[in-house]
Each structure stands twice: as C-alpha cells, then as structure tokens.
Copies of this chain bind each other. A is one copy, B any other.
Amino acid sequence: MGKFNIRFLPYDKSVEIDAETTLLKASINAGAHINAPCGGKGTCGKCLVRVKEGDYDTRFTPQLSEENKGKGFLLGCETRPRGDMVVEVPIESQIRPGEKIATGAKKEELHRMFMELAGEVRPRTKKICLKLAPPSIDDHVADLERLKRELSAAGFNTDHFYCGLPVLRTLGKILREEGWDVTVTLYQSGTALEMLDIESKEMCGIRYGAAVDIGTTSVVVYLVNLITGEIIDTAASYNAQARCGDDVISRIVYATEMDGLDELQRLVVDNINHLLTGIAKKHSIDINLIDKMIVAGNTTMTHLFYGINPESIRLEPYVPAVSLFPVIRAINLGINIQDTAPLYSFPNVASYVGGDIVAGVLTSRIYTKEETYLFIDVGTNGEVVLGNRDWMMTCACSAGPCFEGSGIKFGMRAMEGAIEKVDINPVTFEVNCGIIGNVKPIGICGSGMIDALAEMYLTGVIDQKGKFRDGLDTHRIRRGENGMEYVLAWRVESGIDKEITLTEVDIDNLIRAKGAIYAGFTTLLGEVGMTFNDIAKLYIAGGFGRYIDVERAITIGMLPDMPLDKFEFLGNTSVTGAYLVLLSDKLREEAEEIAKKMTYLELSVCRPFMDEYMSALFLPHTNIDSFPSVKRLLNEVGNVKL
C-alpha cells in the first residue's frame, strides 16, 4: 500500500502512514501531541485538526460542532490521507506543557516524615561490605560457596540462597580484581536470600532507589539516596498514555479492543525512563546505580505497566488479574536501571482501588488511628477510604476525569490559558475570570469548574438541578449548539478565536461527578452506621486535590459540610507511599497489611449507593439541611429563595 507523508504544524514533525491510518494515530507516531480524551474512539470531538495542504478522506460526526466545522476543523480520528499532507493542530487540541504537576510535599519534609515514622533506613535490599579469605590449595571452596560461607558467618541464612546468571558471570572476575574485598547487594524475603549484585568495596556507601507514582494523568518520580533516605530530586510529566485515552476505561479499551497493550506498556516505561534519566543526569548519577524501584498506581495503571491484559477489570464482576504483584526485575519491563534491580508494586485492593490508594492510606496513617478518618484521592477517579486502626472500608466513585477537562466542552487541564477562578456578579451576572499565566483563556480547568458551578448556583444563574434559570437579564446565558450555555469569555477575549462557554451538558457532567464523590462518602458511612460527625478528619490526596477550594467544593456538595479545619491536604500520597516503602521493609509489610485489611465495596452493584447518588445530583444536595453553611451563603447572596 502507498505511504503518505504527513507533516504536523506547529510541531513541524512528520511521519509516513498508509491510507488506512487516521491523522490522530499519525500524530501519535509522529510525536505531535493531539489531545484525544476518548483515545480515538470518535466520542469526545476534541482532536481537532485543520488541513493546510493535501487530499484526504473524512467523516463528519455530531461530535464535530458546527462552529468548529465552520472554522475548517476536522476530527483527527475521522480523517485519513489520500496523498501527502500538511496538518495544523490548533491550540485547543494541543497537549501543552506548562502545568506544574504536583510531585508531593517538600523533599526535606518527606525525609523528616520518614525518619519519624520508621526511625531508620532499612530497605528490603541492602548493601554490605564483605571481606573473603582468598582461596588456597587447602581451602579450595568455589567462589560462590566461599561468598555464601562469609554471608553465613555474617549472620545471614543462606539455606535458600539465589544468584542470577548475570551476577554469577561476573562473580569470579570481581572477587579477584577487588582482592576478595567487595560490596554485595542482597535482597531478603522470608528465608530467601538473593545476591543482586557484586561490586568493589568503594560502592558500599553509594546506592539509589526510585519511587514512582503512575497516575492515569501524570507520572511522578523520586530519585532517592538509599543510604541516607534523602530525596535527591523529583520529576513529573503527563502520562504519555493519555494520548490513548483519558481515563482507565478508555485505556483498557485501547489495550484490548485496539490491540494497544504493548504500546501502552512501552509509553509509560519510556515515560519513567525519561524522567529518571533526566534527574540522574542532572545530579551526575549513573542510572545503573539505581538498584531498587517501588511503584504505586491504580489497578489498571499497574496492569498496563506490567503488560498484563486489563480487560477483566472492566467487565463484571470486575476482577483484576493480580492484586499482589510478584517482585520482578525492573529491566524485564524495560526500565533502564541496574540489571538485577527488583521492582515492587503496591498491592491492589480491587479493580478500582489500587496500589496508589494503599500508598495513600500508608501515608495518611489512618490505619494506626483510634478515631475514624475519611480519605479521598481525587485524581482521574475518586477513591474513598473510611476507617481506623481496627477496620477500613473503601470504594471507588467513578467520578470520571471531567475535573481534568474530559467531557467538558472547553475543559482542559490546569495549564497556561486555563480559567481557574470564576467570580460572577450576582446583580449583572457578568463574570470575572482568573487565568493561569495571565494570558487569554483557552479553556477551563477543574478548580475553575468548581468555582463556576458554585458561583452560578449561588447567584441563581442555575438552579438546584443545574439548569439555567429563565428570564435572567444577561446575554451571557444563551442557547448554543449543545443547548443552553453560559459564556465565560467572549470571542475577542479568548485565545482561540471562539467563545468559551460552560454548557448545561457540562454542568450535568460536573454534578454527576461531584455527586458520585459525595455519595461515596455517605455510602461508606452508611455501611457502618456513622455520620460525618463521627469523622476526626477528612484527608484529601491527589494531584487535583491540591487545587480544590474546600469552601467552593462544599458549596456544590462535592465535599461534606464539615468545619474547614477538619480538611487536610496530603498532596500526592501515592508517590509519598512509594518513597516510604522504598526505604523501609517494615512499612512495606504494613502496606501489604493495609491492602489485606481493606474491605472493598463495589458501588456499581450497591443499592444504597444508587440512592445516595440520586440524592447527590442536586446542588448542593437534595437535603439542603445537611449543608448548613451553603444555606447561610445562599441567604447572604439572596438571589435564591430556599
């Protein structure tokens, strides 16, 4: 079949594709990033492109708005070449750098936290100095057995000793070159003892580890000094898998129905390698000195990382392939660190409560508390944990990625050009927007959405059901292509030559998302016969969690109406947990205990959840009395009669 050359602007990246390949797929291959939340299934209508030159074949679907069609935009996932092409990716379809992904708390703070918790750095792998008696005619024990003998003398149980081929092959050389005075890296698990590496004596005080959080949206990496426990540096990027779908379900579909498992696996591995190589280089550290890696991610992310088919996660009865991943060598997944470095992943609890939540619970310490706590990780999903040192329950609310921009017409991530603050005048209904980077707006991010929803509700622009009220005297509210909408920025104000709006469909999506989260809280409480009054604290974790304005989130009924001092932000607890376990075998055992201890509630088949959810599909809630502070606010503004 003939091949056509496709050049993408403004990236100026080219790729050869055949006539059956879509421009979206071509852009992935070319490394020219096009935002495609649905992963190319043709359902999100976001992968806009404009053909500058060349012949093509395209299909117009309802997902391509009349306005975008009028501007000459096509959908990348529906367009195929019929010759060489030059294709422009408009600003609103670009995946733009610029967002500062939260890498967690301050490095020093975390180190201090670890030291308080564990007291000492004692990872499951250790490096020890070993001085062997050189062989002689009278003592002709083989090299490996000589080493085992010395390990026994040093107090190690060598009954189940193992040493892999790469180490075996260098053993004799290194022992002799180093004059029988060496450093060995050991991995101890139960009675099993493995020698992972043998090096010169000098290397005893030098070793590094990596803690990794694989989020659906972003990947965060810590490079850690495994001797002192200090964090040398952190790095983060978007999860490159995002181009294959925004949420876990799209990724599973991409992996299974679109045969993309290998591609997804490679993408995230490249991601991690790239981040690690970057910081290692910056600190002049040989990446081969990284001899341990701990990963925390949700169940789907972990399966994809291991290259394990995640299909059963998505299908009833929602069973993952693996909960506790066996320790394997990182190199077997393509991670470019030391050849024998073990890779440990936090165990999953269920299909939709993964190792990231176990890491979160470990970080939050709620499993050690006498009082009862709530924990929520607000990421692409919303996982909730309720419990104390005696018991823990957990569920996943499937809030969906709309707070990250998906499913919202002008939704985007919190990067330059995103509306993050919304202030509506209760009299004129005019709006004042705060924009990240103080540039012309090109969309709205999660915190902007919560703000907008709260403001529109408090000022009476929308009613309790999220519908626009009739008869308000403002041209901001109008009937658009997708029904009623509120104009946040006029065309002249916007950075994309289009009006930026929030539609009734968007509002509906947001209410369903916030309703799911709130219903998650109340369902778990209901299961154990508790109320929010019984909760000592509600911990908010997750990258997006940091940007939530708690008062605004209470206003829309996403968070419960508790005193503000009962809320605490923990940041990225997934990577923090990975960091803790990297340094301490004891905390690793605690993590496995946590996973075993948590009782999982599958909400999709939970009758009480359905009821709680239906009740939460209002602003702030069907039962306004459970939100007294919102009631007060409504009274203060006075636009809405309760």
List residues of chain A with CB under 8 Å of any chain B CB: 135-137, 139-146, 159-165, 168-169, 171-173, 176, 189-192, 306-309, 311-312, 316-326, 328, 332-333, 348, 350-351, 600, 602, 605
A103 to chain B, nearest CB (A): 29
Q: Are A323 and B169 in contact, CB atoms less than 8 angstroms apart?
A: no
10 CB < 8 A contacts A-B: A140-B602, A160-B189, A160-B191, A160-B192, A162-B326, A164-B326, A168-B308, A172-B308, A190-B191, A192-B192
Residues of B near A312 (CB, < 8 A) are 143, 172, 176
CB < 8 Å: which of B162, B169, B173, B322 contacts A168? B322
Q: Are A164 and B328 in contact, CB atoms less than 8 angstroms apart?
A: yes
A452 to chain B, nearest CB (A): 37
- Which single residue of chain B is at the shortest CB-CB distance from A606? B137
Contact A169/B309 with A142-B323, A320-B142 known, Cβ cut-off 8 Å? yes
Q: Are B321 and A165 in contact, CB atoms less than 8 angstroms apart?
A: no
Bound complex: CA A136 to CA B307 (Å): 24
The 3 closest A-B pairs by CB, nearest first: A142-B323, A172-B321, A135-B319
Number of copies: 2
- Which single residue of chain B is at the shortest CB-CB distance from A600? B140
Residues of B near A165 (CB, < 8 A) are 306-307, 328, 332-333
Residues of B near A145 (CB, < 8 A) are 322-324
CB < 8 Å: which of B142, B163, B307, B309 contacts A319? B142
A322 to chain B, nearest CB (A): 4
Residues of B near A348 (CB, < 8 A) are 142
Q: Are B307 and A190 in contact, CB atoms less than 8 angstroms apart?
A: no
Residues of B near A350 (CB, < 8 A) are 140
Residues of B near A163 (CB, < 8 A) are 326
Bound complex: CA A190 to CA B159 (Å): 9
Contact A319/B140 with A190-B160, A326-B162, A328-B165 known, Cβ cut-off 8 Å? yes
Bound complex: CA A210 to CA B456 (Å): 75
Q: Are A318 and B144 in contact, CB atoms less than 8 angstroms apart?
A: no
Residues of B near A600 (CB, < 8 A) are 140
Residues of B near A139 (CB, < 8 A) are 317
Q: Are A307 and B169 in contact, CB atoms less than 8 angstroms apart?
A: yes
Q: Are B142 and A308 in contact, CB atoms less than 8 angstroms apart?
A: no
Bound complex: CA A192 to CA B308 (Å): 23
Residues of B near A161 (CB, < 8 A) are 326
Residues of B near A164 (CB, < 8 A) are 326, 328
CB < 8 Å: which of B143, B173, B190, B308 contacts A320? B143
Q: Are A141 and B332 in contact, CB atoms less than 8 angstroms apart?
A: no
Contact A140/B190 with A319-B135, A328-B164 known, Cβ cut-off 8 Å? no
Q: Are A324 and B144 in contact, CB atoms less than 8 angstroms apart?
A: yes
Bound complex: CA A307 to CA B306 (Å): 29
Q: Are B143 and A322 in contact, CB atoms less than 8 angstroms apart?
A: yes
Residues of B near A328 (CB, < 8 A) are 164-165
Contact A140/B324 with A172-B312, A312-B172 known, Cβ cut-off 8 Å? no
Q: Are A321 and B189 in contact, CB atoms less than 8 angstroms apart?
A: no
Q: Are B190 and A323 in contact, CB atoms less than 8 angstroms apart?
A: no
Residues of B near A143 (CB, < 8 A) are 312, 319-322
A10 to chain B, nearest CB (A): 40
Q: Are B320 and A137 in contact, CB atoms less than 8 angstroms apart?
A: no
Bound complex: CA A348 to CA B144 (Å): 12
CB < 8 Å: which of B137, B176, B307, B309 contacts A605? B137
Q: Are A317 and B135 in contact, CB atoms less than 8 angstroms apart?
A: yes
Besides the known contacts A141-B319, A142-B323, A159-B190, 19 further A-B residue pairs in the complex with CB atoms under 8 A apart: A137-B318, A137-B605, A139-B317, A140-B317, A140-B351, A141-B323, A142-B321, A143-B312, A145-B324, A160-B189, A160-B191, A164-B326, A165-B332, A168-B322, A169-B306, A169-B309, A172-B309, A176-B312, A192-B192
Q: Are B169 and A308 in contact, CB atoms less than 8 angstroms apart?
A: yes
Residues of B near A319 (CB, < 8 A) are 135, 140-143, 146
Q: Are B172 and A311 in contact, CB atoms less than 8 angstroms apart?
A: yes
Bound complex: CA A318 to CA B137 (Å): 7
A47 to chain B, nearest CB (A): 31
Q: Are B144 and A323 in contact, CB atoms less than 8 angstroms apart?
A: yes
A160 to chain B, nearest CB (A): 5
Bound complex: CA A306 to CA B172 (Å): 13
Residues of B near A602 (CB, < 8 A) are 137, 140
Which of A136, A145, A321 has the most chain B CB within a 10 Å cutoff?
A321
Bound complex: CA A323 to CA B135 (Å): 14
Residues of B near A137 (CB, < 8 A) are 316-318, 602, 605
Q: Are B316 and A144 in contact, CB atoms less than 8 angstroms apart?
A: no
A337 to chain B, nearest CB (A): 16
Bound complex: CA A145 to CA B321 (Å): 8
Which of A168, A308, A319 has the most chain B CB within a 10 Å cutoff?
A319
Which of A168, A306, A307, A309 has the most chain B CB within a 10 Å cutoff?
A168
Bound complex: CA A327 to CA B171 (Å): 17
- Which single residue of chain B is at the shortest CB-CB distance from A169? B308
Bound complex: CA A130 to CA B602 (Å): 28
Q: Are B171 and A321 in contact, CB atoms less than 8 angstroms apart?
A: yes
Bound complex: CA A311 to CA B308 (Å): 42
A149 to chain B, nearest CB (A): 11
